[in-house]
Amino acid sequence: MTALSVNVNKIAVLRNSRGGGEPDVVRAAIACLDAGAHGITVHPRPDARHIRSDDVYALSELTRARGVEYNLEGNPFAPPRDGYPGFLALCEQVRPAQATLVPDGDGQLTSDHGFDFARDGEALRPLVAALKALGCRVSLFADAESMHYDIAAAVGADRIELYTGPYAESHALGGAPLDAALSRFRAAAQRAQAVGLGVNAGHDLSQDNLAAFLATVPDVLEVSIGHALIGEALYDGLDRTVRRYLALCQA
Ligand SMILES: CC(=O)[C@@H](O)[C@H](O)COP(=O)(O)O
Ligand SMILES: NCC(=O)COP(=O)(O)O
């Protein structure tokens, strides 16, 4: 079975658009967990465009109280700034069950690539060690095309998270592009698993494209899903939407 971690960034986008506290990120996370989600993901960004440090702390308390996985995603190389203590400092403060390192910058609309392990491996090694010393499982955001998962394993990572944005784009095209993407992601998961890494997946996964992905890519341990899920929940509600994703994860 694949675990579902719901990313609640988008609830914070809506809240921040007006200031104040509504919609409430913690209340939304509770609704997802009550529906059976296995965990909660957030990806705080240094510009605080959505999730802020106080959300990270509040969701840490919630996930700890509920005994579910907390997956904190972020760029470990982004320097601290006012209101953002840095990814490692946040992890020290809340000790998430899983820390997912993502090589993205403020200028990006959203995450759009994984690590270049041949280039970044040695810089990642001490960060992975520090996070593991805090008790976090460490996952590294990775492109399906990477031929260097062995380096991710060698620097101590437990898992990779396959960046599924390109898969979602190919799924929308269907036909040969979809078949090629499915083969590419299947081969990527197999290469990672062959060097001892667990495989997570995320970005732009949706009710439309998730089933084909999970049916083809072997042993995906966790998917983290936010943008599509929160959008779909506007029509159907969080409870029903999360339950539909869970059914897809368990199929
Ligand atoms: C790493 C990843 O794919 C997600 O964490 C995604 O980047 C969510 O971030 P935004 O909600 O800021 O787009
Ligand atoms: N790690 C991916 C994630 O948390 C959610 O990505 P998206 O579903 O918002 O694209």
pLDDT (mean) for 133-158: 98
> Does the complex come out with an ipTM higher than 0.90?
yes
pLDDT (mean) for 40-63: 97
- CB of 66 within 6 A of ligand 2: the answer is no
pLDDT (mean) for 172-197: 98
* Mean pLDDT rounded to a whole number for the chain: 97
What is the β-pairing status of strands 69-74 and 3-7?
Answer: unpaired
pLDDT on residue 251: 85
pLDDT on residue 107: 83
Atom of ligand 1 nearest to the CA of 100: 1
- DSSP states of 49-108: SS--HHHHHHHHHHHHHHT-EEEEEE-TTSPPBTTB--HHHHHHHH--SEEEE----TTS
pTM (predicted TM-score): 0.98
pLDDT (mean) for 91-112: 94
Beta bridge partners of 155: none
Pairwise CA distance, residues 191 & 147, whole Å: 8
pLDDT (mean) for 17-38: 98
pLDDT on residue 106: 79
Atom of ligand 2 nearest to the CA of 43: 4
Protein residue whose Cα sits closest to atom 7 of ligand 1: 111
CB neighbour list of residue 237: distance below 8 Å, 6 or more residues apart: none
Pairwise CA distance, residues 142 & 110, whole Å: 15
Q: How far is the CA of 189 from the centre of ligand 2 (A)?
A: 18
CATH classification number, 3-250, choose in 3.40.50.300, 3.20.20.70, 3.30.70.20, 3.30.565.10: 3.20.20.70
Residues designated catalytic? 43, 73, 203
Q: What is the dihedral of CA 52, 56, 62, 63, to 10 degrees?
A: 140
Q: How far is the CA of 225 from the centre of ligand 2 (A)?
A: 4
pLDDT on residue 105: 82
Pairwise CA distance, residues 48 & 120, whole Å: 25
Annotated domain spans of the chain: 3-250
